[in-house]
Structure 1
Amino acid sequence: MIEIGAQVDLSHPPERVWLALTDRELLGRWFAEAETPEGVPDRLVLHTAGLPGFGADVEVEVTDRQDPERLVLACDEAGRLSEVTCDVTATTQGCRLEVREVTTHGGWSVEQQKPREQQLRQALTVRLPAILDWLAFQQVDLRRGDGGMTTELPLVGASRNGPARARRRTVAAVLVGLAVLGGSAAWLALPVGGKQSAAPPAPASPSPSVTAVAVTATPRATTSVRPSRTATSPTARPSRTPSGKPTPTATAAVPPPPPPPLTARYETDSSRLFGYTGEVVVGNPAATPAASWAVVVTFADGSTVDDVEGAESRQDGRSITFTGAALPAGGSQTFRFDVRDNRPKARTPESCTVGGNPCTGL
């Protein structure tokens, strides 16, 4: 007698898990396609031929059913008989599902047993939770209550002093304009040249003010121009002298050629409904060892990654960074990961880079 089994804790109620176990269409999405043989309504045929650990399709008959806690199946796989027991136990977080298969006649070879157990474990821990999440989404009520607006924008009141201030600004502007016009008229009234008689008291007043302005402006203009030229000249000279000297030195030093970058190749190792297994091979083509490596893979929205083998992983949003130890010169490192997608047809990663360079295979 050979026994294999697996169990998983699920964040879903027992009734939903029971539906995924007993509904023929749902069973085909997370384990194997099922159909009812013609004329035999109490039997199912699971199309397991070709799955890891299975050599043929399996005929299934229900021998015990206790909704939604226990389901016992008698299985016939090309003459090899076994019994499958599914126990669903409610927990505080949802329920626990335990599946055991025991041979009753015949058995599996060593080459079949391990892949068969891995297939069962992957179905329970990866594909079944994806189907349950999808079922939960179908049962969510997305309707929302209609509510009116409860907030209004505040009104800004106009200032009462606005017109008075505007009038005051207008009067001030008029006075300034009159003063400017008066000064311009006085300037034009000055004599151009020749002898003049004694000027009346009124024109004598603006004459000194104009002369004072002219005398004062002349030295200021001369003083401001001279320092600016003197300050600009020494600033430009030092900048030319040091800029020319380092050029021959930089040209003379020839840096050694950088080592070739690390390479990475992505490949979808196996695909299924609601998920797939990805594989990345990191290579070091350089003649010297690489101290470490990092591969960044960005997955489609709604994808989750687990069961990483051959690397350490760190997630940041939809991107996961896979890291590993040193790579010898000319060596390589392979790591794998399992992806669960919220769509039946799983989507491959959106991008893959190693050291900023894209991976091949995508």
Structure 2
Amino acid sequence: MIEIDVQVDLFHPADRVWHALTDRALLARWFTEVEPMAGSRGRLLLFTAGLPGFDAAVDAEVTDRREPELIALRCLEGGRRSRLACAVAPTAEGCRLSVREVLEHGSWNDEQRERREESYRQALTGRLPAILDWLAFRQVDLSRGEPGMTAEMPVTEVVGDEPAPAARRRRWPLLVAGLTGVVLAAGAAAWAVLPAEPDPVAGPVATPSPTATATPSRTPRATPSARPTRSATPTPSRPSRTPSATPSATPSRTPTSIAPPAPAMTARYRTVSTRLLGFTGEVVVDNSGSAAVDGWTVVVTLAEGGSLTDVSGAEHRRDGQVVTFTGPPVPPGRSRTFTFAVRDVDQLTRAPEDCSLGENPCAGL
């Protein structure tokens, strides 16, 4: 049995996500337009013909509806029959939306299945969070007293004159264009060029002292038994100190300047999800040593204006934009993971400004 399963964690309550799933006007803005089929209770027509992975419009029938947990559809599209279910489950940060489509009759080729899954994924991770943020900040009131604009699925029969799809599309051109521009904005990061390290300074070369030239001048006046012995002593010592001491000292220092061993405790950061005005970060603390570490401390600096909304897997203390995370012991060869959610940051800020474990910066940032 061929199936498509896509999940996304959202920073919004289940009732708001349910509203975006079942409101026809909202659904048209993050997935596709939907029309009720006149004379058929719970029958809908999804205009999916232009979406990647879809061949035609989908004739759908609502088979199960449990607000705000589940809505299930039986779908007919181009000779294929499938079941589509959207499930909403609460989480500590908001809720998790799972979209699962199971093909019951007909087939998809590999390319079509991949494109169809990618179409769901782009809608759930890009356009839907933008619509939810839009609703949360109450930028637009979709009701505005216009009948038919916010009728929820499934719709029985249309009462009164229903605005044509083309008319509804013209109703919000500037809003949709502006929202799309915000969601698709890409950030650019500038990398600082590190200065080149200076070349090693060669050791000073000693110059022969005047004594070296004076010693031979006194040698003829010395007795054959004593003076040659005294002059022979400085003769081998001075050349060894002057030309040979420098090269012999340099190699002796080079092998001994061994890089410090890698720390047993390290941390690595990654941004696991993003939204219109925030992101979720994850830090993994690794213990690569042979002994257990009693505890660890990771310090994260948030961008200016960022607010910490949720932490999982660690204790934390905040001082301005600096957040200190602490956690339980880490056994040797094991790791600990914690996540934190940040909101009220601009579109280009999708990570903290700094992250470190002790004196060691977190990898990946």
Looking at CA atoms only, which structure, 1 or 2, has the larger radius of gyration?
Answer: 1
Normalising to structure 2: TM-score of the pair?
A: 0.40
Normalized per residue, the structure richer in helix is: 1
